Structure 1
Amino acid sequence: MIPESDSRGRDKQTAVGRSFIPDPLPRTISPRILDALRRYSRHARGAFSPETIRAIQSDTRVFIKWCVTKGICPLPADPEHIAQFVDDMAAQGKAPASVRRYVSSIRHIHIAADLESPTGKQIIRMALSRQARLHGTEQKQAIGATRRVIDVILHVPGSSLLLARDKAIIATAYDTLARRSELVEIRRNDLQFNPEGDGVIRIRRSKTDQEGAGSFRYIAPDTAALLRDWVERAGLTNPHDETHLFRSVRKGGKQIGKGLSPYDITRIIKRLAQQAALAPDMIAGLSAHSTRIGATQDMEAYDISTAGIMQAAGWKTPTMIARYTRKQAAARSGAARLAQRQNRV
């Protein structure tokens, strides 16, 4: 079972001040390079999202660990060694997208160390191509939580404060198409209820809006009703409050605590899916991204324009729409329309 209480993991504030430098570093790296990395980390503080810092640090740690086991110095890295690293990761079953991200992080850490990046060399490109040809480049996608799935989840019986919060989160995630990192950063004063019963939520910063220009997302009356229930019962009724909108619920279920971690969002959707008695394979395929995928699929099914979907999700290109709706697109293809006109459907 998914645990009832929220597990915050590491404090989000720690990630903001976290260095790009993995710890510990091998002693084979020269002091000059270490000094350059430290200087870069100081200047980079606040310029990148915590998620970006975590990803680069985690990816670089994988490469450094591999180098240590091979007796190789990771900085500066030899192109042949990086190509061998790519081959070894492929042999271990790592996804091509993951390995490409590793190489991108290796490039970043070289630039951070004021070194010429070796990752553009042909030998590394060929290693990446070799893996892509062998394993393909299709990325595993979470199951889309379409409106049918959302409605089943939102009808889970119960009246606890925890359940009120979880339903408000899932409904908000579907309407706003917000990423997990965006959901947990919504503040109480980002939420505005309208007299008509619906409302809007401000997304202050996103993956595609690192400068914080912000955007506004629509919430339907049924979602607004769930949010009203949560804020009233949680004592978050001051519309000007800067506190996080979605907060942890302390043991006992009657008091709220600190803000949530992005990792809590997946736990919440899986927990409610279990309580709704969804199929085990469905539950296993759900993630914090499922509401974003499902809402996109629903909009495509209802012939919402590409521009409208992009605005709703905060995308700057239609690439992700095409990725999320590939299966649905097959049912609307030329072959499908031909079958309909031939009365074969």
Structure 2
Amino acid sequence: MGKLSPAHQILPVIQAEEEVLARLKEFVQDKDAFSPNTWRQLMSVMRICHRWSTENRRQFLPMLPADLRDYLNWLQENGRASSTIGTHGSLISMLHRNAGLTPPNTSPLVFRAVKRINRVAVVTGERTGQAVPFRLENLLELDALWSDSILLRQKRDLAFLHVAYSTLLRISELARLRVRDISRAADGRIILNVNYTKTIVQTGGLIKSLSSQSSRRLSEWLSVADISAEPDAFLFCPVHRSGSATLSINRPLSTPAIESIFSQAWNTVGVSETISPNKGRYTRWTGHSARVGAAQDMAGRGYAVAQIMQEGTWKKPETLMRYIRNLQAHEGAMVDIMEKYNLNKKDK
């Protein structure tokens, strides 16, 4: 058998590249299989990793295990949290799998690098970030101040905070609620039909019920905004500086606009003591605060972890436990034993 010519030698390489490109095109065509947030994260990671690969003369796709190890170490050297580094590794693996390539994460080289990164993070005292909780007392204090307001924006913001706290929905899930998702119970309270969440994607969706007070605040907002007769309108729409509601059907309220609602609430009734920043942030209420606060309030009132997980659509107990760990720390079995022992000694 004769020697292959250079053209024949390079042909399999060209065919392999064409197959990868074809799979990547199919991947992009099927991007609706993933949540918008996951896709945005993937695009962000690809941009960062591609720029690093170009600047350091490394191969981006397929990525070699040694290159991925160096990339992950570079992320940690530049102050990225271990959880963020883990996300980068997972999304790079996801890209390789969908391109029909072997993910570099499967190599022991990368496994050891990740293990070292996590260990360094723990030893150096890295803390998992957590939003400042927006508690029930905060909501009720705001309700007392804003419920009689003549400002349309405050009517909307109060209704939004009631729904956010009552449902434990994520801000992206709150933003896409529409007027048609509302129905009424026999006693007049509002029932919300949530089509899907980050962790629940199934026909039938999820049902969330509001309390009488929260139902009243949402009804008041719908009335003054004059959108009750618009089934396709987003439940929470922008409020123009002139003081009128801007009917929105195609674009939900943006994340910065939602963050602004929590910021205005903080400026109105935020706690007076200084909060130590966690990872340079989390010094005031943010978009996740109502979800965290509601979970902590439920835990503080003795609701079971399974009940709280159901309300917040958490799939993993450890995710929830990060939110309520400070509350649960004083209710451990050993604390209970020691307290009861000391109490018995005093009684004798």
Tell me which interval the TM-score lies in, with the shorter structure as reference length: 0.7 to 0.9
On the 8 A contact 1:200/1:219 being kept in 2, the answer is yes
Aligned to 1:154: 143
Structure 2 CA distance for partners of 1:68 and 1:86, relative to 1, 3 Å: same
For residues 193 and 211 of structure 1, the distance between their equivalents in structure 2, rounded to whole angstroms, comes to: 23
Moved over 4 A (4+): 29-32, 280-283
For residues 48 and 213 of structure 1, the distance between their equivalents in structure 2, rounded to whole angstroms, comes to: 19
> Across the two proteins, how many residue pairs are aligned to each other?
314
For residues 117 and 46 of structure 2, the distance between their equivalents in structure 1, rounded to whole angstroms, comes to: 20
Instruction: Please say if 1:260 is aligned against 2:253.
Output: yes
Aligned to 1:235: 226
1:282-323 CA-to-partner distances (Å, cap 9, x unmatched) read 573422111111111111111122332222222334333322
**1:3-22 maps to which residues of 2 (within 5 A)?**
none
Q: Which runs of 5+ in 1 are unaligned?
A: 1-28
Give the stretch that moved more between structures: 240-249 or 183-192. Answer: 240-249
TM-score normalised over the length of structure 2: 0.83
RMSD: 2.2
Aligned to 1:40: 27
Aligned to 1:107: 93
Q: Which runs of 5+ in 2 are unaligned?
A: 1-15, 276-281
Structure 2 CA distance for partners of 1:311 and 1:236, relative to 1, 3 Å: same
**Structure with the larger RCO, 1 or 2 (CA within 8 Å, 6+ apart):** 1
Deviation for aligned residue 1:197: 4.4
On the 8 A contact 1:83/1:124 being kept in 2, the answer is yes
Deviation for aligned residue 1:195: 4.3
For residues 35 and 94 of structure 2, the distance between their equivalents in structure 1, rounded to whole angstroms, comes to: 15
Aligned to 1:324: 323
Deviation for aligned residue 1:335: 4.1
On the 8 A contact 1:206/1:212 being kept in 2, the answer is no
Aligned to 1:269: 262
Aligned to 1:223: 214
1:60-84 CA-to-partner distances (Å, cap 9, x unmatched) read 2111111111011200111000001
Instruction: Please say if 1:180 is aligned against 2:171.
Output: yes
For residues 150 and 337 of structure 2, the distance between their equivalents in structure 1, rounded to whole angstroms, comes to: 50
Aligned to 1:214: 205
Aligned to 2:5: none
Deviation for aligned residue 1:159: 2.2
1:155-184 CA-to-partner distances (Å, cap 9, x unmatched) read 344321111111111110100001111101
Aligned-partner SS, 2:191: strand
For residues 154 and 128 of structure 1, the distance between their equivalents in structure 2, rounded to whole angstroms, comes to: 47
Instruction: Please say if 1:287 is aligned against 2:290.
Output: no
For residues 156 and 127 of structure 1, the distance between their equivalents in structure 2, rounded to whole angstroms, comes to: 52
**1:33-72 maps to which residues of 2 (within 5 A)?**
33-42=20-29, 44-72=30-58
Q: For residue 32 of structure 2, what is the amino acid of its counterpart?
A: G
On the 8 A contact 1:193/1:224 being kept in 2, the answer is no
On the 8 A contact 1:49/1:210 being kept in 2, the answer is no
Structure 2 CA distance for partners of 1:285 and 1:132, relative to 1, 3 Å: farther
On the 8 A contact 2:63/2:104 being kept in 1, the answer is yes
Give the stretch that moved more between structures: 81-90 or 334-343. Answer: 334-343
**1:20-31 maps to which residues of 2 (within 5 A)?**
none
Aligned-partner SS, 2:104: coil
Identity of aligned residues (%): 24
Structure 2 CA distance for partners of 1:318 and 1:32, relative to 1, 3 Å: closer
Q: For residue 229 of structure 1, what is the amino acid of its counterpart?
A: E
For residues 58 and 78 of structure 2, the distance between their equivalents in structure 1, rounded to whole angstroms, comes to: 19
1:30-89 CA-to-partner distances (Å, cap 9, x unmatched) read 5654443223211x1321111111011111211111111101120011100000111111
TM-score normalised over the length of structure 1: 0.84
Question: Quick check: which has more Rg, 1 or 2?
Answer: 2
For residues 294 and 217 of structure 1, the distance between their equivalents in structure 2, rounded to whole angstroms, comes to: 17
1:185-230 CA-to-partner distances (Å, cap 9, x unmatched) read 1111212233424322111111112344401112111111110110
